[in-house]
Structure 1
Amino acid sequence: MATFLYRLGRLAFRRRRLFLSLWIVVLAAVGIGAFSSSGTTTDGLSLPGTQSQQAIDLLQKEFPQASADGATARIVFEAPAGQKLTSAENKAEIESLVAKLTGSPQVAGVSAPFADGQVSTSGTIAYAQVTYKVAQAEISRAAYEAQAELVQQGQQAGLTVSLGGNAVEDKASSKLAELLGLAVAAVALVITFGSLVAAGLPLLTAILGVGTAVLCITIATQIWDMSSQASTLALMLGLAVAIDYALFIVSRYRTEVRDGHDPEEAAGRALGTAGSAVVFAGLTVIVALGGLSVIGIASLTSMGLASAFAVAVAVLIALTLLPAVLGFAGKRIMSNRMLTRRMKSAERGEGGQTMGVRWARFVTRNPLKVLAVSVLGLGLLALPATSLRLALPDDSMKPPGSTQRVAYDTLSKGFGPGFSGPLTVVVDARDSNDPEAAAAQASTLLSKMGDLAETSKPTFNEAGNVALIGAIPKSEPSSQATKDLVTDIRDQSSALQKESGADLMVTGFTAVNIDVSTKLFQALIPYLAIVVGMALVLLMLVFRSILVPLKAALGFLLSVTATLGLLVAVFQWGWMKDLFGIDQTGPIVSMLPILLIGVVFGLAMDYEVFLVTRMREEYVHGASPTQAIVGGFRHSARVVTAAAVIMISVFSGFLLDDAALIKSIGLGLASAVLFDAFVVRMTIVPAVMVLLGHRSWVLPKWLDRAMPDVDVEGEKLRKALARQDSSATLILREPVLASVGTEAPSLTGTTDTAPPPPAALRQPRGLPFPRRTGDAGQDESN
């Protein structure tokens, strides 16, 4: 692989115009395809094997009108202080607004608040239920404008009007967070490289790669059902790893140039060594994200596969476009001579030492103390994770002051906290001798439930053998009491089945929420086992060791549990909630732990590969274990630090958002990268490796023979290049000897012809001599 990437790097450097043109053509093609795409995304959840999904499937068959896929909204009205909505003036205004909304675009029907009994007992709050003919993703701009006009007219009449439901438009969040993150990334890259050109290359290639990936995902919506969040996650993670990979290769390229190689040769060597690490780091990320498909939730599968595709594109960009762009930059990437000399001097041990080297020496001098403090600190942070509760996001998680949040709070005030999370109880009496008696018995069972505020009368299908019963809990949809209520109702199914032959099932958004959260929680351990197990195999191939991959995986588990503990402490328990601008506590979003594991595992293995491969390079060249650790930090600590700072800055920007959901994602990803990069990879890892000594790199002989040698460090490439350089030196020296009258020795004693070079100095088969180029990376064709 290293030899192939070496050739690829030199080829892309020489044919930079061709490679750049090809990527521009690809971007233009997928751009045209994406903008002409008619595919849509979905927020629907399919949960095969769960009771809520079985009930949904039954409803689609027996109650097609009640299980339509159209989006819904609630228009919530609240009377001015001291007034009631039942007054003649307010009642007339509401009826006028509802009638006007009935004729709005895409509306299938609107309930009448006063005729349908949708007014609170106090008479101050009412709502109208709106059903649309199309799904959420197909709601038109005209429909949104009709909603906004209704709100404006109601407020002009003195009413408080708010909108809830999935048919309501989410206001676009501010781009300040993304802009701040990119700004910090640019500053970190400039500080790392000391050159605007070198800092700009990772950003440029990352943006082009992410753009290509997201446009391809948009095209894919025409063929597959994609989650509406798939592109967002792919963009975020694709940008993160693309910057990481480019950062690592550009750093190695600069090192090769400083060592005296011409730019084309430096590009080949950088890709042959750092590029190999990028390939295997990318594979670990792809494995982690592809593993999301084992959960069995379609939307999560699409998010994982889309993000894995974005990572694959990032790897291709780093291996093909980046060396081509380096060809255009040439030696201008080394523009800040003073800083370059300082970095080179520090790396060679001349003069001062880099911060990374000083830190490595500190850790290697005090491994037990550092290890104990780090593990104890992360362990204490992980303790709250034992109280983890999961829930899907609803309108209660919208930003304070948003129309969805106002509608949720208003309905809770007027109709009770459980009103926004109704349950749909399905009585499947197709095998019962008396369906009506079975439905009546189910109603009696429900009436005895302590946490139910009210239930509706059974409504039968046309065949009269399946009934629906609406139930309103007393508690909030995301509360533990509501979860227990759903469990209690389902537990009554066996008793009902025994007495009447009917089955009792619970569905609806709240029940689906509970089933999703339960399924995701139960999938955490199997997912971790699959991802970590496959990654251990890949890392064993990379490092030719058992203990190094095992230590990497255990360190990752420690950083993830510490992150989950921090999220529970902040968002569930309310610790430091004022610092993060959180107005109310609640469960963690169901998909966040799984996504956190997939995303952070990929980034963590990136840092592990980038840092430890340089340690292994030093070790195989004869350095002691401690010297190898310090050497690895000398070469890679600056790059890993810059990559981690960039990711933390980008993710921390989401804390500026008003929505608790976005805040939790930002805090989770930022803290996970912080813990894993600086506490695990740069503290625990070197401390453990010092204590293990030579045992870190031990691999049983039988396993060593069984595993293929992938040579991620490019050791075979370096030996081949060394033999090549030796051969070139010998050829150049022979004419010099002849010119001073020195005859080359003859092995036979009968010929004056110089003997062939020894086998060790011959040109390696299949590896051509590099073609020397001119200054600043300009080849002879220029």
Structure 2
Amino acid sequence: MASFLYRVGRWAAEHRWATIVSWIVLIALVATGAATLSRPLSDEFTIEGSRFQQVLDQLREEIPESAGGIGTVTFTAEDGFTDEQRAEIAALVEEWTASDGVIEATDPFVTQEQLDTAPEQIAQGRAELETGRAGLEAGRAELDAAEEQLAAGRAQLEAGRAELEAQREQLEATAAQLPPAALAQAEQQLAAGEQQLTASQAELDAAEEQLAAGRAELEAGEEELAGAQTQLDQAERLSELTDGVRQVSEDGTVAMAQIRFDSTGGSLDPEVTEEVQRLGDELTPAGVQIDYSAEITTDLASLVGPAEAIGVVVAAVVLLVLLGSLVAAGLPLINAVAGIAVGLGAALTLSAVVEMTSVSPVLALMLGLAVGIDYALFIINRHRVQLAQGMALRDSIALATGTAGNAVTFAGGTVIIALAALSVTGIEFLGVMGVVAAGTVAVAVLASVTLTPALLSVLGDRVLPARQRRGLERKADNDATHGWAARVQRRPWLAILGVVLVAGALAIPAPQLRLGLPDGSQEPPESTAYRTFDTIRDNFGAGASGPVIAVATLDEPAADDATVTELQLDIAEDLKAVENVDYVVPFGVSEDRDTLAFQIAPVDGPSEESTVELVHDLIDGADALGAEHGVQVGYTGATVANIDISDQLADALPIYLLIVVGLSLVLLLLVFRSVWVPLVASVGFLISVAAAFGGVVAVYQLGYLAGVFDVHEAGPILSFLPIALIGVLFGLAMDYQVFLGSGMREAFVHGTPARQAVVVGFNHSARVVTAAAIIMVSVFSGFVFAELTMVRPIGFGLALGILVDAFLVRMTFIPAVLSLLGEKAWWLPRWLDKILPNVDVEGAKLERQLGTGVAPQQH
């Protein structure tokens, strides 16, 4: 590899303008691709195949209007809303509802009136029910009296019929003895009696029909009353379930409207949300302040802001101090800018086909800027040393690319592998984040071994003025009695104890680490998203900002709407009985009545620990709840998604850490051909990680020094931060280990005593590694006050981690331990020495082939 890079460096130096123009063309191409093909980035994090994602997919299929994204808008009027303002807000809500991409917007005043009048309507309905029941009772009494009269009439009719039959029998018995006139008269009397009985029977039949009609009417009335009773009971149960729901604050100064969007992805369409904001800003009445939730206002157009530039300025100052020339100091910055331009441009172009979160390009920017400067610095510094020793310009450029460039390539490779290994977690957005960052680092390495040699060729001797050449010559010595490593070597146990105590103190809060994803409370305090979150929390309860969505699936569709309603209420009441639930709102039924949706508002905010416990309790109790009601229950929504993702990332963290530590052992075993050095280096890496985790938890979760770092509300740590931090810190820690340790090994291999080799190797690399570490810390520190708030703890963690790893671990802990180990530090079993390939990181073999007299460990 060193020989290949030597040829690459020489070609780039000889064809400097072709190389530079090629990079300019490449930058133009990716910039064009990013401008024309890139899609909006997202702040939504999801894991395909997760429980919450499966439930959400089911909800989208069964009840699509309940699965759309939801945004919240608050209206504030200090003196309360006038009738005119209410009317104008109602008109604005209608405009929103009519907008493309919006399913529905709620009028907060209409909704609140419905909520307020519900108890009165229920009471009025019960009064009407009692009146109707009293009327039915009176009707029943009248029917009973009529029944008695009808029974008496029937008895009289039967008695008359019996008497008539007796008369007929008597007439038949005496008919032969009666004169014809008397017989005719008797028969007429019997016929008249028969007619009278028939008329009475008809009257009784008519009365009986009337009575039957009255009974039917009474039964219908009873059924109607029973139905009204059921509706009132259900209305009362629903009122109890939704007790606490408000759309207008109790003091009447704040109103909250919800907008349901027709969105199928994890994020809302920016064009739709921009139209919502435009209408709101134009149509909101005078005297009313309007604010939008983070879902509506998320603006990812600007990945960096003024704060990030501060880190670059500090890096430039460090370069100027180290290199002593504006021209020379500008080269690493140009290299870094070219690398991140190509890397980020390519990433944004790929966003057309790959869903990408907003953190992905920012993390890539962070790393690309830092390593782009550092890698170019190592090559430039090596080139300057060689020039100071009299080497020809292009020979020096080629050799610096073959030696320091080889170390840069190997170091960059470790960073790339560590970042790409994020894909093994099985979490898609994290894998994309790692690949994007790894790609940017790869471009930074490519720029370092091609563009940097070309720029050095253009500058020629101007990279090293004559007055600086003498200074460099004085610094290029092998004195093993001076410098920081020599002081550490005099009291190694004290140095080790000091590092352990400092890093241990920083790591104390680490076990309290609690993971989560950002909500409105993490937005900047001056933003409309934070004002919305804060206003809702103060006036409507923190849980209103992050409801949990429950979806119940029936084995068979319900027979009718009444059955569905009863089942909804039964399930909702059981859901509300769960601890930390504020209220439950049934808010959707599928057309075939086999899927029900519920909105559960937690007592606390979406990132609070009680809400995490609530979601776990709901999930743990899903089977029991489903068995009781004959349904299958699942949970989804942003709050559930955040908690589920955080849990999965927490589960993946130990596995990833094991992979990274194992990888570090293998890589360092290849580089240093030693058993102890990789073990000590890996232990040092774990110390750095623990300290970084502890610092992040202390500031961003527990709120220590919150004012200093502009943390206005402490909360859970970004769920993917630990894994990302481990990957990045591992790669960068290996960089410093390679640049410092390889010099020590080369000195030892060339006959320098083990303890002396530690100091000699350290002194040859410490100055440039110190500058590189300061640059890294400066760049990452700039992101502590980034525009994108979720990036801030990442910047802080990386800055602190590099600070600890470079200055405490690599420059203090490692030299102290290696000094104590002496020659044992470089021990390797013979059988292992035979099978391990010889990784010439420093390009010493190349130097021997070329016959140069430049010490290989000098960068």
Deviates most, 541-550 or 99-108: 99-108
Say whether residues 1:396 and 2:521 are aligned partners. yes
CA contact (8 A) 1:244 1:643 kept: yes
Amino acid at match of 1:519: Q
Q: Which residue matches 1:361?
A: 486
| Greater relative contact order (Cα < 8 A, sep 6+) | 2
CA contact (8 A) 1:431 1:501 kept: no
Q: Which residue of 99, 102, 105 maps to 2:94?
A: 99
Amino acid at match of 2:311: G
Distance in 1 of aligned mates of 2:347 and 2:44: 18
- Counterparts of 1:351-390 in structure 2, within 5 Å, are 357-390=482-515
Question: Taking structure 1 as reference, are residues 219 and 581 closer, same or farther at Cα in structure 2, changes over 3 Å only?
Answer: closer
Say whether residues 1:285 and 2:415 are aligned partners. yes
Say whether residues 1:705 and 2:705 are aligned partners. no
- For 1:257-297, what per-residue CA distance to the aligned partner results, in whole angstroms no more than 9, with x for missing partners? 12221112112221222112111111110111111112222
Amino acid at match of 1:362: R
Question: Taking structure 1 as reference, are residues 559 and 139 closer, same or farther at Cα in structure 2, changes over 3 Å only?
Answer: same
Q: Which residue of 541, 546, 558 maps to 1:416?
A: 541
Question: Taking structure 1 as reference, are residues 433 and 318 closer, same or farther at Cα in structure 2, changes over 3 Å only?
Answer: same
Say whether residues 1:640 and 2:765 are aligned partners. no
Q: Which residue matches 2:151?
A: none
Q: Which residue matches 1:213?
A: 343
Distance in 2 of aligned mates of 1:153 and 1:461: 35
Q: Which residue matches 1:33?
A: 33
> 1:360 is paired with a residue of what secondary structure?
helix
Deviates most, 163-172 or 257-266: 163-172
> 2:256 is paired with a residue of what secondary structure?
strand
Distance in 2 of aligned mates of 1:169 and 1:717: 53
Q: Which residue matches 1:202?
A: 332
Q: Which residue matches 1:53?
A: 53
- Counterparts of 1:61-100 in structure 2, within 5 Å, are 61-68=61-68, 72-81=70-79, 83=80, 85=81, 87-100=82-95
Distance in 2 of aligned mates of 1:384 and 1:724: 51
Amino acid at match of 2:537: S
How far off is 1:662 after superposition? 4.1
CA contact (8 A) 2:407 2:841 kept: yes
Question: Taking structure 1 as reference, are residues 438 and 138 closer, same or farther at Cα in structure 2, changes over 3 Å only?
Answer: closer
Q: Which residue matches 1:729?
A: none
Q: Which residue matches 1:243?
A: 373
Distance in 2 of aligned mates of 1:275 and 1:283: 12
Distance in 1 of aligned mates of 2:261 and 2:497: 59
CA contact (8 A) 1:400 1:658 kept: no
Question: Taking structure 1 as reference, are residues 457 and 718 closer, same or farther at Cα in structure 2, changes over 3 Å only?
Answer: closer
Distance in 1 of aligned mates of 2:297 and 2:452: 43
Say whether residues 1:112 and 2:107 are aligned partners. yes
Between Structure 1 and Structure 2, the one with more helix by share is 2
CA contact (8 A) 1:286 1:308 kept: yes
Distance in 1 of aligned mates of 2:84 and 2:378: 69
> 1:224 is paired with a residue of what secondary structure?
coil
Deviates most, 705-714 or 679-688: 705-714
CA contact (8 A) 1:277 1:613 kept: no
How far off is 1:191 after superposition? 0.8
Extract unaligned runs of 5+ from structure 2.
Answer: 113-246, 855-859
How far off is 1:80 after superposition? 1.2
Say whether residues 1:17 and 2:146 are aligned partners. no
Amino acid at match of 1:53: Q
CA contact (8 A) 2:515 2:716 kept: yes
Q: Which residue of 651, 658, 662 maps to 1:529?
A: 658
Amino acid at match of 1:552: A
CA contact (8 A) 2:268 2:295 kept: no
Q: Which residue matches 2:797?
A: 668
CA contact (8 A) 2:370 2:776 kept: yes
Q: Which residue matches 1:334?
A: 464
Amino acid at match of 1:94: I
Q: Which residue of 579, 596, 615 maps to 1:467?
A: 596
Structure-1-length-normalised TM-score: 0.86
Question: Taking structure 1 as reference, are residues 91 and 16 closer, same or farther at Cα in structure 2, changes over 3 Å only?
Answer: same
- For 1:620-653, what per-residue CA distance to the aligned partner results, in whole angstroms no more than 9, with x for missing partners? 1111122222222222111111111112112222
> 1:129 is paired with a residue of what secondary structure?
strand
Distance in 2 of aligned mates of 1:63 and 1:432: 14
Question: Taking structure 1 as reference, are residues 111 and 687 closer, same or farther at Cα in structure 2, changes over 3 Å only?
Answer: same
Deviates most, 456-465 or 56-65: 456-465
Distance in 2 of aligned mates of 1:268 and 1:630: 28
Q: Which residue matches 2:732?
A: 603
Distance in 2 of aligned mates of 1:411 and 1:597: 36
> 1:116 is paired with a residue of what secondary structure?
helix
> 1:468 is paired with a residue of what secondary structure?
strand
CA contact (8 A) 2:568 2:586 kept: no
Q: Which residue of 787, 807, 811 maps to 1:682?
A: 811
Say whether residues 1:428 and 2:553 are aligned partners. yes
Question: Taking structure 1 as reference, are residues 159 and 495 closer, same or farther at Cα in structure 2, changes over 3 Å only?
Answer: same
Distance in 2 of aligned mates of 1:660 and 1:168: 14
- Counterparts of 1:482-493 in structure 2, within 5 Å, are 482-493=611-622
- For 1:180-214, what per-residue CA distance to the aligned partner results, in whole angstroms no more than 9, with x for missing partners? 21111111011111122221111111111111111
Distance in 2 of aligned mates of 1:17 and 1:303: 34
Structure-2-length-normalised TM-score: 0.79
Q: Which residue matches 2:446?
A: 316
Distance in 2 of aligned mates of 1:544 and 1:692: 15
How far off is 1:138 after superposition? 7.3
Q: Which residue of 764, 778, 788 maps to 1:649?
A: 778
CA contact (8 A) 1:476 1:482 kept: yes
> 2:839 is paired with a residue of what secondary structure?
coil
